[in-house]
């Protein structure tokens, strides 16, 4: 599997510094599990991070910054071991294995979002307000067009997506900033499941977008 779409260097630096929100940090951590390229880049940022931190004003540093940075850098490699039995009942029937980086998350049932479109709330331990969700779209589905006032992180878990900028396959992470106003389509013959998180507000256009916004709180 060749991964063509990666998180930005800025997001990796923020992850290394413990300055990325919990939702985007989860999505990027899932990407890191499958992407040796980004694991290497993160390690390099970690190596230079100490020097950068020394140049920052002490007031800008949270007291537990180093601890949180180390925690976030502690990304486990993919494990073949089965999920803990205690978690299985809480997870919807996804038809796929969830990455082990999501093992500590509580995952709600699939909920209707539109024809052929489902979503599931992902709760991160200690960060109940993080805007992160699983999305599942049927093959051929056109997702509502939307833009952003922040960043949107979208990691493909199964199936594929396309939009005006390219094609996204399992392992790819699409990071869309406020320059992007896109209209993704579920490509290929199989359903697409992805893990999505947003920072800032997401502006959704069209009738489905107006339906989605109050439902998911974005």
Closer to Zn ion by Cβ: residue 113 or 156: 156
Residue 136 binds Zn ion (CB under 5 A) = no
| HSE value, Cβ hemisphere, 13 Å, CA-based, for 88 | 6
Distance CA 183, CA 215 (A): 19
Torsion angle (degrees, nearest 10) of CA 48, 51, 55, 58:
100
Interface pattern 156-195 for Zn ion (x via CB under 5 A): ----------------------------------------
CB of 132 to Zn ion, least distance (A): 19
Closer to Zn ion by Cβ: residue 38 or 102: 38
> How big is the site for Zn ion, counted in residues (CB under 5 A)?
4
CB of 142 to Zn ion, least distance (A): 27
Q: Which 32-51 residues touch Zn ion, going by CB under 5 A?
A: 35, 37-38
Sheet holding 185-187, edge to edge: 166-168, 160-163, 185-187
Tokens read off for 72: 């976030």
Contact range with Zn ion by CB under 5 A, out of 1-9, 76-84, 97-105, 120-128: 1-9
Closer to Zn ion by Cβ: residue 25 or 216: 25
* 113 DSSP 8-state letter: E
Which residue is it, tokens 């499941």? 193
Q: Which 5-34 residues touch Zn ion, going by CB under 5 A?
A: 6
Distance CA 41, CA 14 (A): 12
CB of 35 to Zn ion, least distance (A): 3
Closer to Zn ion by Cβ: residue 119 or 153: 153
Question: Is residue 160 within 8 Å of residue 168, measured between CB atoms?
Answer: yes
Distance CA 45, CA 182 (A): 30
CB of 85 to Zn ion, least distance (A): 31
Q: Which residues bind Zn ion (CB under 5 A)?
A: 6, 35, 37-38
């Amino acid at each position: 599997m060749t991964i063509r779409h990666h998180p930005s260097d800025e997001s990796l630096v923020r992850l290394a510094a413990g300055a990325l929100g919990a939702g985007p940090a989860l999505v990027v951590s899932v990407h890191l599990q499958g992407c040796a390229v980004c694991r290497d880049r993160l390690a390099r940022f970690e190596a230079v991070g100490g020097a950068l931190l020394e140049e920052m004003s002490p007031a800008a540093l949270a007291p537990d910054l180093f601890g949180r940075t180390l925690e976030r850098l502690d990304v486990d490699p993919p494990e073949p071991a089965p999920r803990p039995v205690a978690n299985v009942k809480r997870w919807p029937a996804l038809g796929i294995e969830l990455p082990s980086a999501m093992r500590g998350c509580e995952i709600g049932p699939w909920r209707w979002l539109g024809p052929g479109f489902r979503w599931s709330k992902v709760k991160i331990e200690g960060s109940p307000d993080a805007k992160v969700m699983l999305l599942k779209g049927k093959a051929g589905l056109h997702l509502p067009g939307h833009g952003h006032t922040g960043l949107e992180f979208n990691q493909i878990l199964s199936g594929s997506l396309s939009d005006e900028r390219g094609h996204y396959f399992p392992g790819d992470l699409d990071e869309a900033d406020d320059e992007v106003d896109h209209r993704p389509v579920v490509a290929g013959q199989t359903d697409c499941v992805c893990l999505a998180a947003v920072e800032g507000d997401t502006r959704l256009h069209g009738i489905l977008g107006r339906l989605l916004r109050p439902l998911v709180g974005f």
